[in-house]
Amino acid sequence: MKFISLFFLKNVITFVLLCFSFSVVAQKDSLETVIAEKGEGIYALLRKKGVNPYETFDAFVALNIDNIRDSIHVYEGRTYKIPNVEAKVALEETKKAIPNVLPKTGKGYAIFGKKYRKVPIKSSKLKNAVFYLVAGHGGPDPGAMATYAGKPIAEDEYAYDITLRLARELISHGALVYIIIRDNNDGIRDKRILKIDHDEVAYQNKVIPLNQVARLKQRVDIVNELYTKHKGQYQRLIVTHVDSRSKGQNIDVFFYHHEKSKSGKNLAENIHKTFQKKYKKYQPNRTYSGTFEHRTELYMVRKTWPAMTFIEIGNIRNKKDQKRILEPDNRQALAKWISEGAILDFQKR
């Protein structure tokens, strides 16, 4: 009798789970769809289905992100799902839960450190532009490692210092900036040897996972959630890394973008052009060999919604590249050049 009861209970549970699964699938499949015709955009598709485009734009993007170019352009002839009321409400609740970043006090931006917390306003060239900045690795993962003057140096510390300097430059021209990976006690450091620590956190003080895929997914999720908050605005993502190759391989700064992202390509190209001009001016006897190209196999390039560029600053194990990476004035120059390329991209949009 006891055996029969357990057997019966097991089958009931299985039946309930199957019903639930069918319900979820049915609900997903019950969404209305529309085929994009030549010349139509997201707003036109939503209007065609009698849906308020301004209220459901973000939910539409979230539902169809794998079928949209640059997170704003639909493809002619493809089928798209139309969000229902529940999807819109859930998205709005998510947006409300995300506060602004880099709170400014009367003393300036604390994240830049005491020396650099006050940011002078240079212009309004980037007014209404939104940037998401991600320094590579961090937390339990220091990234590429090397030694300099007998001391260990780590990729994440230098990528982060350049990212902070870049954030400060962008803010000085009126941009709204989100620093996704952050160390709340480092600040901008004017030293060659940056002390290695592991207390970096992700935006909103989230612990950075040890697992690589989980770590990258966390960053992607944060950026994509923030992306939905700023619909209709110019939004760009800049990811900064330091490469690790053989000691004898000297490399220039490289820029990567998504293969199908025209806006991402433009961003990478505009920053690349800025670097070419700077090298021609400051190092006229040296050929700049850095390139911009698509590398969609990179997780951050493939999964994030904003148009983006993935930057490799140099080879941390090469002596010539170490000069570019370790010298604080050079890190500042790199940040300034990247910001000038971003300004160029914003002005040409």
Question: Same domain, yes or no, for 63 and 118?
Answer: no
Q: How far apart are CA 6 and CA 14, in angstroms?
A: 12
Number of structural domains the chain divides into: 2
In a domain? residue 101: no
In a domain? residue 309: yes
Which region holds residue 240: left if phi is over 0, alpha if psi is between -120 and 50, else beta? beta
**CA 249 from centroid of its chain's CA atoms:** 28
The parent domain of residue 118 ranges over 110-347
Q: Give the pLDDT score at 41.
A: 83
CB distance 349 to 129 below 8 Å: no
3-state per-residue secondary structure call for 83-132 = CCHHHHHHHHHHHHCCCCCCCCECCECHHHCCCCCCCCCCCCCCCCEEEE
Q: Give the pLDDT score at 52.
A: 76
In a domain? residue 102: no
Question: Same domain, yes or no, for 40 and 152?
Answer: no
Question: Same domain, yes or no, for 196 and 335?
Answer: yes
Q: Give the pLDDT score at 7.
A: 43
Burial class of residue 288 (count of CB atoms within 10 Å of its CB; 0-12, 13-18, 19+):
middle
In a domain? residue 269: yes
Question: Same domain, yes or no, for 145 and 251?
Answer: yes
Q: Give the pLDDT score at 211.
A: 93
In a domain? residue 105: no
Other beta carbons less than 10 A from residue 189's beta carbon:
19
Question: Same domain, yes or no, for 196 and 218?
Answer: yes
Q: How far apart are CA 205 and CA 94, in angstroms?
A: 17
Question: Same domain, yes or no, for 186 and 320?
Answer: yes
In a domain? residue 103: no
- Partners of 240 in the beta sheet? 135, 311
Question: Same domain, yes or no, for 157 and 76?
Answer: no
Task: Divide the 349 residues of the chain into consecutive groups of 10 and give the mean pLDDT of each group.
Answer: 42 42 45 88 83 76 78 83 63 41 69 93 95 97 93 96 97 96 95 96 94 95 94 95 77 91 96 93 82 92 96 91 93 96 96
Question: Same domain, yes or no, for 31 and 131?
Answer: no
Q: Give the pLDDT score at 5.
A: 46
In a domain? residue 15: yes
Which of 96, 131, 147 is where one domain is finished? 96
Which of 68, 96, 124 is where one domain is finished? 96
CB under 8 Å to 167, separation ≥6 — which residues?
A: 102, 112, 131, 133, 177, 179
Question: Same domain, yes or no, for 243 and 331?
Answer: yes
Q: Give the pLDDT score at 68.
A: 81
Q: Give the pLDDT score at 4.
A: 41
Question: Same domain, yes or no, for 217 and 320?
Answer: yes
Single pTM value for the model: 0.73
Q: At what angle do helices 328-347 and 262-282 cross, to 10 degrees?
A: 130
Question: Same domain, yes or no, for 120 and 148?
Answer: yes
* Residue 192 Cα distances to 135, 243, 271, 322, 338, angstroms: 18, 18, 25, 10, 21
Q: Give the pLDDT score at 19.
A: 45
Q: How far apart are the first and last CA of the chain?
A: 74
